[in-house]
């Protein structure tokens, strides 16, 4: 698996440090509020769990499945929501957590859906931001790392379901996805 990685972009240590910083920041900003982290599966699972443990305030967690990629390396342009939240989020402060904001299409679609559920607020949290690829101008409210326009895997980010379990974020060799 490691032989498929061209370079390590963000080390495991850098991830741990940044997630801790983000958890502390969110804990201060949301102290005394009813907070729910909504994790976009599957990619954000690692990040959302680590982020929740880095927070010192009570938080609930919910999960959604939304995707615009399938098994490819570029967005399909349409976002499919396959699993919606089960809890009533009305009046709660939502932190919508994803592994990466790329085109912004997934965040925008899910945020619009969640707004219909009458939360007190919705803020977006992304581990990685590929701002050069944005199609809709949406910016994440909280970002772990801004990264270049490379195809990255690890720490939840995948290619066709593989590489999520890498403890770092690395650039996948183009030869790997050229085989598909």
Q: Are strands 5-10 and 93-101 parallel, antiparallel or unpaired?
A: unpaired
Phi, psi of 104 (to 5 degrees): 90, -5
Cβ(125)–Cβ(110) below 8 Å: no
- Let me know if residue 23 belongs to a domain: yes
State the pLDDT at residue 84.
60
- Let me know if residue 141 belongs to a domain: yes
Residue whose pair of structure tokens reads 């920041």 in the numeric block: 25
- Let me know if residue 83 belongs to a domain: yes
How far apart CA 126 and CA 142 sit, in angstroms, is: 6
How many structural domains are present in the chain? 1
Per-residue pLDDT of the chain in tens (180 residues, 90 and over written 9): 689 999 999 999 999 999 999 999 999 999 999 999 999 989 999 999 999 999 999 999 999 887 665 555 555 456 666 656 777 899 999 999 999 998 888 888 889 889 999 999 999 999 999 988 777 778 899 999 999 999 999 999 999 999 999 999 999 999 898 765
- Let me know if residue 19 belongs to a domain: yes
State the pLDDT at residue 55.
98
- Let me know if residue 41 belongs to a domain: yes
- pTM for the model stands at 0.88
Q: Classify residue 96 as left (phi > 0), alpha (psi -120 to 50) or beta.
A: beta
State the pLDDT at residue 83.
53
Active site amino acids = 102
- Let me know if residue 172 belongs to a domain: no
Cα-to-chain-centroid distance, residue 36: 15
State the pLDDT at residue 166.
97
152: which 2 tokens?
């990255």
Provide the CATH number for the domain around residue 18: 3.40.50.2020
- Among 8, 10, 12, 25, smallest CA distance to 125 is for 25
Helix, strand or coil for residue 82? strand
State the pLDDT at residue 118.
96
On the 0-12 / 13-18 / 19+ scale of CB atoms within 10 A, 68 is middle
- Let me know if residue 56 belongs to a domain: yes
- Let me know if residue 177 belongs to a domain: no
**What range does the domain containing 110 cover?**
13-147
> Residues 79, 81, 84, CA angle at the centre, nearest 5°?
150
């Amino acid at each position: 698996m490691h032989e498929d990685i061209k370079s390590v972009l963000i080390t495991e240590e850098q991830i741990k440090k940044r997630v801790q910083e983000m958890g502390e920041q969110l804990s201060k900003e949301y102290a005394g509020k009813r907070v729910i982290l909504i994790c976009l599966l599957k990619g954000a699972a690692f990040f959302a769990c680590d982020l929740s443990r880095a927070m010192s305030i009570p938080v609930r967690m919910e999960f959604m499945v939304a995707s615009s990629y399938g098994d490819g390396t570029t967005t399909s342009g349409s976002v499919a929501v396959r699993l919606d939240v089960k809890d009533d989020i009305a009046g709660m402060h939502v932190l919508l957590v994803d592994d990466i904001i790329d085109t912004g299409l997934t965040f925008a679609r899910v945020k619009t859906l969640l707004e219909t559920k009458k939360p007190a607020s919705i803020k977006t949290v992304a581990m990685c931001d590929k701002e050069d690829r944005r199609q809709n101008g949406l910016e994440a409210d909280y970002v772990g790392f801004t990264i270049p326009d490379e195809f990255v895997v690890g720490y939840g980010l995948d290619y066709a379901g593989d590489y999520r379990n890498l403890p770092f974020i690395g650039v996948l060799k183009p030869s790997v996805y050229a085989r598909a």
